[in-house]
Amino acid sequence: MEPKDRFWLILIIAIAEGMLIGWIDSRPNWDDTGITVGMILIGTFILGVVHPKHSWVWALSVGIWIPIWNIVLHNNYGSIIAIAFAMAGAYSGALIRKFSLR
């Protein structure tokens, strides 16, 4: 698979992952922020390891959906912090990849 094709495949996976996490987090009976943060961190970490060059893209592709769902459905602007956790996960994965290849 060519690098350009690989990028688009990973982008689709990241968007789907973010939409799923955002949907789960926005359910009326869901009240477990720790699991949501864990899903964001693990998902973006893996994406950062797989393709570290575009870590910021993976973080935004996953993290942006949580605030979108929560702002639209519940007027919850505090969920914007999810983007910071997504960035932390993606860049942690990229750092692990960088130091493991030496």
Report whether pLDDT(102) > 70.
no
- Tokens 């009976």 found at: 29
- Rounded-to-integer distance, Cα 81 and Cα 92, Å: 17
Tell me what the mean pLDDT of segment 52-70 comes to. 94
Residue with the bigger pLDDT between 14 and 31: it is 14
User: What does the DSSP assignment read for the chain?
Assistant: --HHHHHHHHHHHHHHHHHHHHHHHTSTT---HHHHHHHHHHHHHHHHHH-GGGHHHHHHHHHTHHHHHHHHHH--GGGGGHHHHHHHHHHHHHHHHHHHT-
What pLDDT digit, counting tens, does each position of 80-99 carry? 999 999 999 999 999 999 99
Asked whether residue 101 carries a pLDDT value surpassing 80, the answer given is no
Q: What is the pTM of this model?
A: 0.90
Mean pLDDT on 6-22: 94
pLDDT at position 96: 94
Distance CA(32)–CA(79), nearest Å, equals 13
All structural domains of the chain with their residue ranges: 13-100
Backbone angles phi, psi at 29, to 5 degrees: -95, 5
- The overall average pLDDT reported for the chain is 92
